[in-house]
Amino acid sequence: MALNTLVATLLCTIVLPIFLFLVAVKLWEVYLIRGRDPSCRAPLPPGSMGLPFIGETLQLLLQRRKFLRMKRRKYGCIYRTHLFGNPTVRVMGANNVRQILLGEHKLVAVQWPASVRSILGSDTLSNMHGTQHKNKKKAIMRAFSRDALEHYIPVIQDEVRSAVAEWLEKDSYVLVYPEMKRLMFRIAMRILLGFDPDQIKTDEQELVEAFEEMIKNLFSLPVDVPFSGLYRGLKARNLIHSKIEENIQKKIDGGDEVKHRDALQQLIDISRNSDEPFSMQAIKESATELLFGGHETTASTATSLVMFLGLNPDAVNKLRQELHQQEELGVDLLGQNVNIEVLEQLKYTGCVIKETLRINPPVPGGFRVVLKTFQLNGYQIPKGWTVIYSICDTHDVAEVFPNKEDFNPERFMDKSSEDSSRFNYIPFGGGTRMCVGKEFAKVVLKVVLIELTLRCNWTLSNGPPTMKTGPTVYPVDNLPTVFSSYTQRPSNTPPILKAMKL
Please state, in angstroms and rounded to a whole number, the distance separating the CA atoms of residues 243 and 426. 34
**Residue with more model confidence, 455 or 415:** 455
Q: Which secondary structure element, helix H or strand E, spans residue 100, and what is its range?
A: helix 94-101
- Length of the chain equals 502
Residues 6 or more apart whose CB falls under 8 angstroms from that of 476 comprise 465, 466, 467, 468
pLDDT at 178 over 70: yes
Q: Does residue 161 belong to any structural domain of this protein?
A: yes
- Does position 502 have pLDDT exceeding 70, yes or no? no
* CA 197/CA 176 separation, integer angstroms: 22
- What whole-number distance in Å separates Cα of residue 69 and Cα of residue 309? 26
Alpha-carbon distance of 340 to 128, in angstroms, equals 31
Inside any domain, residue 467: yes
Residue 107 domain-assigned (yes or no): no
Establish if 348 belongs to a structural domain: yes
β-partners of residue 425 are 422
* Whole-number Å distance between alpha carbons of 117 and 110: 11
Together in a domain, 142 and 16:
no
Other CB atoms within 10 Å distance of the CB of residue 272: 11
Whether 274 has a pLDDT exceeding 80, the answer reads no
Are 4 and 130 in the same domain?
no
Q: What is the pLDDT of residue 481?
A: 97
Helix extents (H) in 336-468: 340-345, 347-359, 391-397, 415-419, 438-455
Q: Is residue 306 part of a domain?
A: yes
Predicted pLDDT of residue 55: 86
Other Cβ atoms within 10 Å of 260 Cβ, number: 12
Instruction: Give the number of other Cβ atoms within 10 Å of residue 89's Cβ.
Output: 25
Q: What is the pLDDT of residue 25?
A: 54
Q: Is residue 456 a known part of a binding site?
A: no
Q: Which of 221, 244, 242 is nearest to 232 (CA)?
A: 221
**Residue 23: what are its φ and ψ, rounded to 5°?**
-65, -45
Query: Mind listing the pLDDT tens digit for each residue in 147-175?
Result: 889 989 999 999 999 999 999 999 889 99
Give 318-374 pLDDT, tens digit per residue: 999 999 999 888 888 887 778 999 999 999 999 999 999 999 999 989 999 999 999
Q: Which of 51-55, 84-88, 253-257 has the lowest mean pLDDT?
A: 253-257
Q: Dump strand ranges (E) for 201-264.
A: none
Residues 10 and 145 in one domain: no
Q: Are residues 22 and 138 in the same domain?
A: no
3-class SS of residue 345: helix
Domain CATH code at residue 360: 1.10.630.10
Enumerate the β-bridge partners of residue 88.
81, 386
Query: Smallest Cα–Cα separation from 125: which of 321, 291, 365, 329?
Result: 291
Domain identity same for 222 and 330: yes
* Alpha-carbon 41 to chain mean position: 37
Mention every residue, 6+ apart, whose C-beta is less than 8 A from residue 157: 336, 338, 447, 451
In this predicted structure, what is the pLDDT of residue 479? 97
pLDDT of res. 139: 76
Stretch 480-502: mean pLDDT, rounded?
Answer: 62
Phi and psi at residue 271, to the nearest 5°: -60, -40
State how far Cα 197 lies from the chain centre.
26
pTM: 0.85
The single-letter DSSP state of residue 425 is B
pLDDT at 487: 80
Cα four-point dihedral sign 261, 266, 269, 273 = positive
27-41 residue pLDDT tens? 555 555 656 677 888
- pLDDT at position 71, please? 93
Which long-range contacts link 134-142 to residues 24+ away (Cβ below 8 Å)? Answer: 135/270, 136/267, 136/286, 137/436, 139/266, 139/267, 139/270, 140/263, 140/266, 140/267, 140/286, 140/290, 140/436, 141/436, 142/261, 142/263, 142/266
In order, the DSSP letters of 309-325 are HHH-HHHHHHHHHHHHH
* Cis peptide leading into residue 471 (ω within 30°): yes
**Are 18 and 149 members of one domain?**
no
Residue 407 zone, left/alpha/beta (φ > 0; ψ -120 to 50; rest): beta
Closest CA to 366 of 391, 397, 396, 383: 391
CB-CB contact of 433 with 366 (8 Å): yes
* DSSP bridge partners of 457: 484
Assess contact for 201 and 159: CB atoms under 8 A: no
Q: Which of 77-86, 99-108, 186-195 has the lowest mean pLDDT?
A: 186-195
Q: How many domains does the chain have?
A: 2
Q: What is the mean pLDDT of residues 219-225?
A: 83
Q: Which residues contact 426 (CB under 8 A, 6 or more apart)?
A: 97, 101, 361, 391, 394, 395
**Average pLDDT, rounded, for the chain:** 85
Identify which has the larger pLDDT, 264 or 99.
99
State yes or no: pLDDT of 448 exceeds 60.
yes
**For residues 469-484, average pLDDT:** 92
Interval 251-268: pLDDT, tens: 877 655 555 567 788 778
| Residues 256, 164: Cα–Cα separation, whole Å | 36
Three-state secondary structure call for residue 121: coil
119 within domain boundaries? no
Q: Which of 253-262, 375-384, 402-411, 426-435 has the lowest mean pLDDT?
A: 253-262
CA 440, chain centre distance (Å): 14
- Is residue 317 situated within a structural domain? yes
Does any domain span residue 12? yes
The domain containing residue 15 runs over which residues? Answer: 1-34
pLDDT of residue 199: 75
